[in-house]
Structures are given as structure tokens and as C-alpha cells.
């Protein structure tokens, strides 16, 4: 058991974070429709990804742009947000993330809205992790390869250094 799970106040804030996002989304959907809710949510998570990178880099004191620094920052995010994930560096230039448990998919399952999963993965997760790539290092490319929301066994995402300046 991680140290985070030993603290009920951390679990409380995790639940609040997910609840606010879900409630916000549903209220926008009610007022403006599903597509507008997705577009606004995409914009929010794009900014949130940038904020996460800046904050986690500062917390972990990781100012360098190495693949290992990125991997440590992503591990921090995954552990803190209660993902079940494996994060590896490959060839010193690439970071591969395999997510086996996603708290956002669990929230969709609990609310019986798994039909939104593929759109969440394509629009929201992709925006968040693309923002991670660009904020962490402008030469990084984010590539989603598989998603739990599309019925795969895991989410598999990759961050690769772009060889072009």
C-alpha cells in the first residue's frame, strides 16, 4: 500500500477532484450539449496538463528535460491520482506509460457513462498528455497507442523526442 492510500484526506481530495470535473461536465452538457462540453473540457485539461508539469517538476526538483525526469514526473502523477500504471524509459529518449487502472474510467463506469469513454480518451486524455509533452519539452511528441476506454487491456502512451529542431 502506498503512503498516499494510508491518508483518508488524500482520498477525500481525489474524490472531490473527480466529482467537480464530472459535475462541471454534466452542467455544461445540460446547458450547451455534449460536443460543447467536450470542447470546453478539452481546453481545461490542456491547461491543466501544463499546470501539472510545472507543479510536479518544481515539487520533484526536475528542471532538466531528460526522459528520466519526465518518467519521474509522470510516475508522481500516476501515483498521486491513483492510476495503476507502469512508467519506463526506453533508449534514454522515450517514455512509455502503460495504464492498467484509470480512475476516470472507473468514474465513467460508476456513472454508467462508459459510452463516453472513447471520446474522453481521444479528446481529453490526448489533450492533457499532448500538453504534458509540449510543456515538458517542446521537442517531445505524444502518441496514444491503446486505451482502456476502447476496450483494450491497458492505455499505452508514448513520449518520444522529435529529431527535428
Q: Apex CA 100: angle with CA 132 and CA 160, to 5°?
A: 35
Domain of 101 in residue numbering reads as 4-161
* CATH at residue 54: 3.30.1380
Give the chain's mean pLDDT.
Answer: 92
pLDDT, position 3: 57
Rounded to two decimals, what is the model's pTM?
0.89
How many domains does the chain fold into? 1
pLDDT, position 15: 86
CA atoms within 13 A on the CB side of 118: 4
Residue 66 pLDDT class (50, 70, 90 cuts) = very high
- SS3 state at 6: helix
Amino acid at each position: 500500500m502506498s503512503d498516499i492510500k494510508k491518508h483518508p484526506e488524500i482520498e477525500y481530495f481525489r474524490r472531490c477532484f473527480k466529482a467537480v470535473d464530472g459535475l462541471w461536465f454534466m452542467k455544461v452538457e445540460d446547458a450547451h450539449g455534449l460536443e460543447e462540453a467536450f470542447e470546453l473540457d478539452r481546453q481545461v485539461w490542456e491547461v491543466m496538463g501544463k499546470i501539472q508539469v510545472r507543479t510536479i517538476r518544481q515539487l520533484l526538483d526536475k528542471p532538466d528535460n531528460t526522459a528520466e525526469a519526465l518518467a519521474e514526473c509522470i510516475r508522481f502523477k500516476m501515483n498521486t491520482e491513483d492510476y495503476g500504471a507502469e512508467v519506463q524509459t526506453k533508449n534514454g529518449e522515450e517514455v512509455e506509460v502503460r495504464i492498467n487502472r484509470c480512475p476516470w474510467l472507473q468514474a465513467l463506469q460508476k456513472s454508467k457513462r462508459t459510452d463516453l469513454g472513447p471520446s474522453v480518451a481521444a479528446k481529453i486524455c490526448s489533450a492533457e498528455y499532448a500538453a504534458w509533452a509540449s510543456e515538458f519539452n517542446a521537442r517531445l511528441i505524444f502518441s496514444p497507442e491503446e486505451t482502456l476506454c476502447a476496450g483494450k487491456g491497458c492505455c499505452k502512451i508514448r513520449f518520444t523526442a522529435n529529431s527535428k529542431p
